[in-house]
Amino acid sequence: MKKARKQSLRPVSAAATGHVAASSVASVSCAPRVGNYTASATFFVLIAVLAYLAHAELGYNHGLFSEGVYEPYADFRAIPKAGGPSRVDSGREIYASAGCVACHQPGGTGNPANNCPPLAKSDWVLAEGPSRLIRLVLGGGQGPITVSGKLWNGGVMTAFGPNLTDDQVANVVTYIRQAPEWGNDASEVTPDMVKAIREKTASRTTAWTPDELLKLPVTE
């Protein structure tokens, strides 16, 4: 009897047998390919429509967020606080209704025609302390004044003290010092500050001159 021939244990290549392992097929089919691809124009139109709707939702309905974080407010200080309008918003209304806007203009630029100095970026307005500005609003002002390096031969500024409460003066002076649309950024004024200065100057009957105010400390 012939002995059975031993089978070869040598591995046979896939190429030789004509079979490819499943893992090899998967690796070949998943490999990235380099080339040019096209997308339907409808896809891009859809993306554009969705972007427009999202923008409209945010612009007109505020995306269901509070309106306070959108126009017309220029910064966080101008956003109405819970329980009522901010001091800046109230001051803005007083600035218009009390007549300040007629001379100092809506943009706080002043009016050379009547020698009324500007409030926007004014060194008087943006001083570290508001005491001089409070005195001007309460008691009025008169005489030439140098504002941010420019001389204004101004006339007489109206005294608003008799017609405005401490809270109203605090609001309008705060607005003037912080008007976001003018680029002003100074500290807030409180009714207590106005009350203290009103009491100190209660006996005064004449408008303030710049020279008098400059002799006073910037902060009190």
Read off the pTM: 0.63
- Three-state DSSP at 43 gives helix
Give the start-to-end residue ranges of the domains of the chain: 41-71, 80-214
* Residue 158 structure tokens: 């109206």
Q: Which residues contact 219 (CB under 8 A, 6 or more apart)?
A: 128, 129, 131
The domain defined by 80-214 folds into: Cytochrome Bc1 Complex; Chain D, domain 2 (1.10.760)
* Residue 163 structure tokens: 């017609």
Q: Per residue of the chain (220 residues), what is the pLDDT tens digit?
A: 445 455 545 555 544 455 544 444 445 556 666 666 677 888 788 888 888 887 766 655 555 555 555 555 555 555 556 666 889 999 999 999 999 999 999 999 999 988 899 999 999 999 999 999 999 999 999 999 999 999 998 778 999 999 999 999 999 999 999 999 999 999 999 999 999 999 999 999 999 999 999 999 988 7
